[in-house]
Amino acid sequence: MRARRRSAVVTVLTTVAGILVFTGQPAAQAAPEPYLVGRGISDVTGPAAENGMMGYSDFGQKTTGLHQRQRSRAYVVVDRATGDRVAYVNADLAMVFRSVQEGVLAKLQARYGNTYTRENLLLSATHTHAGPGGYSHNLAYNLSILGLQQQTLDAITDGIVESVVEAHEDLKPGSLSLGRGELTDASVNRSRVAFDRNPAADKAFFPNAIDPSMTVLKFRQGTADVGAVSWFATHNTSMTGRNTLISPDNKGYASYQWEHDDSGVRYLDDRPGFVAAFPNTNAGDMSPNLNLRPGSGPTEDEVENTRIIGERQNRKAQQIFAGAQTEVTGGVAHRMRFVDMGSVAVDGRYTTDGAPGTTCSGVVGASTLAGSVEDGPAIPGFTEGMQSPIKSLLEPLNIPVPQWLKDCQYPKASLVPTGLVQATPNVVPLQIVRIGQLHLVAVPGEVTITAGLRIRRTVAAELGTSIDNVLIQGYANDYSQYVTTPEEYDLQQYEGGSTLFGRNTTPAYQQEFGKLAASLRDGTTPAAGPTPTKPPFTELNLQTGVVFDDKAPGTSFGQVLTQPAAAYTTGQTATAVFVTGHPKNNLHRNGTFLEVQRLVNGQWTRHGDDGDWSTRYRWQRSGVANSEATITWAIPAGTPAGTYRIVHNGDWKSGWTGKITGFTGTTNSFTVS
């Protein structure tokens, strides 16, 4: 579903309604709905070949095709009484970086002026580890991708902007409601030994050492249900580091199942449809790998696990959506400021010993390089709990950690002072968004459930509201790795070693988000924060692009090298191989590299595409510049009997002129029974 041009009649009627509201007529007289509500969705999928993948820091994990497309889902809510608005985005990405925030805002403001700002736009990621990386301006997050991949960054910013534009253009009188429930079989605590270091009062809040809470926000336009946002804490890492196909992982599957399978949305059709987002909350120590091994739990098949964990989230969300709801009432508001998390003076009210403390400039610890054995180990030779650095791996970096910083970060085995050289950010955005009684605390990192609990309690106390009305929105607006409690930090498991700002990171967030909450409560403007600067090495890129495409003599681009069989039954897999060009020549964003077409009344119609769960698009080189595309369709149960064919859409680049030319290849027809 792409941005649509609204009819002149609808535009005029909406404008007139807005004038009636904003010239003082009570909103209740204009319409019973207290809000204007809009939803939108677009494609943020980057290069499907030879682009390092973001999440596991594996230099060898590069895209080789596509399982499902990554999407951005946007919602705009306007308080009709005041005109205040917020735009909320959840995208199938590993993280949101400030490079994304700045790019999106620049494009939105070129179109809408100051309608959307850092204050009222909240950008969040699902945290999939199965998408293209290289879209940060901080070197540490681009290292394993070999630098900044501008094509990936452009795809993400353009897609997010399109989703917000679509939501903006979709605004109609509507209402919101909240539902809550618990899901207990889609997460496990991957750092139980660190969780157990927390005080009994905190652990009692999570008797099973997980956060089972799911909060569902329902969007309605008039009497029509048009969208839902379902917050639940679990890592989006059912797909392991062995995978090289682009995937939105379990949360992306949850969205796909609700939208496509259950609500009939067809993403390539130019018409509105139900938009279902599944964002993360405080998922820092929550894993979907229920057996505490990568790709293990509930089965030993990572793809099947992705489907099962996604389906569990979807089914619970829909149960809550259809159950008892609480009407959302009240205004729309927001507060945001930048904070230098590398040098926060923390009041003793928030520290564990009652004495004033401080945070530290960002440092990566040895346990960070060890990775999380439950979701995906990183560099061999490092183990969780390490208390001393292995200097030999750091010699090429030649970035010593000053002693004062080692002391500040104690007991971390400090390896790289990433904050001092802006390889990771010290200055980060903190934001609180209010939609009626619901408050979203937008944290630029991965928050453990206990750290999240403490931040939520602090914010709820300042606002005078229930903790149920305060949610951590993780992976928001920027990324600065983990947020653990001081007790968890002391153990230096993976999450503690990845807590950049030292032992007092959570107390500092409690204090700074408490200030934002007080400002929101009192209607004041928060104190101006520091202005972040652009990091060095921003444009560094060692990944080669497409030089040219070639093919074997006597062949043509799009030619079918392997035809599918003449007949299949449901449950079987149809396969075709094509002569192709490099996928970087054209991302086919908001389009598709493939179609499964069905013959209906003498016309070939699109039955499936590369956004579907049942299809796979795999790319591989077959020479220096030659390549092949293998397209598979695992024919689902319930597929209508009939005649089908597979179509491949590709593009090749000339080595003489550099011109990129599109082509289409089509297989023989086959039957499905």
- 659 close to 653: Cβ distance less than 8 angstroms: yes
Find the mean pLDDT for residues 17-41. Answer: 60
- The greatest distance separating any two alpha carbons of the chain, rounded to the nearest whole angstrom, comes to 78
Instruction: Give the residue from 425, 417, 461, 415 showing the smallest Cα distance to 445.
Output: 425
Q: Please tell me the predicted confidence (pLDDT) of residue 368.
A: 63
Q: Please tell me the predicted confidence (pLDDT) of residue 536.
A: 84
- Name every residue whose Cβ is closer than 8 Å to that of residue 372 and which is 6 or more positions away in sequence: 190, 191, 287, 384, 494, 495
Q: Please tell me the predicted confidence (pLDDT) of residue 76.
A: 98
* Per-domain boundaries in the chain: 8-338+426-522, 560-672
Find the mean pLDDT for residues 464-476. Answer: 98
Q: Please tell me the predicted confidence (pLDDT) of residue 39.
A: 98
Q: Please tell me the predicted confidence (pLDDT) of residue 400.
A: 85
Residue 278 has pLDDT above 60, yes or no: yes
pLDDT tens readout for residues 594-621: 999 999 999 999 999 999 999 999 999 9
DSSP letters spanning 99-128: HHHHHHHHHHHHHHGGGS-TTTEEEEE---
The residue among 568 and 6 whose pLDDT is bigger is 568
Q: CA–CA separation, 153 vs 159, rounded Å?
A: 10
The residue among 158 and 16 whose pLDDT is bigger is 158
* Out of 128-142, 269-283, 385-399, 485-499, least confident range: 385-399
Q: CA–CA separation, 277 vs 293, rounded Å?
A: 27
Instruction: Give the residue from 522, 478, 531, 516 showing the smallest Cα distance to 500.
Output: 478
**What top-level class would CATH report for the domain 560-672?**
mainly beta
* Out of 290-294, 299-303, 375-379, 467-471, least confident range: 375-379
pLDDT over 70 for what percent of the chain?
91
pLDDT tens readout for residues 325-368: 999 999 999 999 999 999 999 999 999 999 999 999 999 987 66
pLDDT tens readout for residues 212-261: 999 999 999 999 999 999 999 999 999 999 999 999 999 999 999 999 99
Give the position of tokens 């590398």.
342
Q: Please tell me the predicted confidence (pLDDT) of residue 372.
A: 56
- The phi and psi torsions of 395 (rounded to 5 degrees) equal -55, -40
Q: CA–CA separation, 343 vs 420, rounded Å?
A: 12
Residue 28 has pLDDT above 80, yes or no: no
Residue 8 has pLDDT above 60, yes or no: no
For residue 610, CA distances in Å to 222, 347, 614 come to: 33, 52, 9
Q: Which residues pair with 52 in a beta bridge?
A: 62
pLDDT tens readout for residues 69-106: 999 999 999 999 999 999 999 999 999 999 999 999 99
Q: Please tell me the predicted confidence (pLDDT) of residue 370.
A: 54
Q: Please tell me the predicted confidence (pLDDT) of residue 392.
A: 32
pLDDT tens readout for residues 509-528: 999 999 999 999 999 999 88
pLDDT tens readout for residues 632-670: 999 999 999 999 999 999 999 999 999 999 999 999 999
Q: Please tell me the predicted confidence (pLDDT) of residue 376.
A: 61
Residue 11 has pLDDT above 60, yes or no: no
**C-alpha radius of gyration, the chain, whole number:** 25
Q: Please tell me the predicted confidence (pLDDT) of residue 32.
A: 76
* Out of 42-51, 191-200, 360-369, least confident range: 360-369
Q: CA–CA separation, 492 vs 498, rounded Å?
A: 8
Q: Which residues are catalytic?
A: 287
Find the mean pLDDT for residues 397-420. Answer: 88
Residue 119 has pLDDT above 50, yes or no: yes
When the pLDDT of each residue in the chain is averaged and rounded to a whole number, the result is 92
Strands 446-447, 573-580: pairing is: unpaired
- CA atoms in the 13 A half-sphere facing the CB of 325: 20
Give the position of tokens 């007080």.
518
- 214 close to 317: Cβ distance less than 8 angstroms: yes
What's the pLDDT band for 415 if we cut at 50, 70, 90? confident
CA angle 286, 388, 353 (to 5 degrees): 65
For residue 411, CA distances in Å to 364, 392, 503, 545 come to: 12, 20, 9, 43
Tokens of 519: 């400002």
Residue 539 has pLDDT above 90, yes or no: no
**Dihedral (Cα; 389, 392, 398, 401), 10-degree rounding:** 10
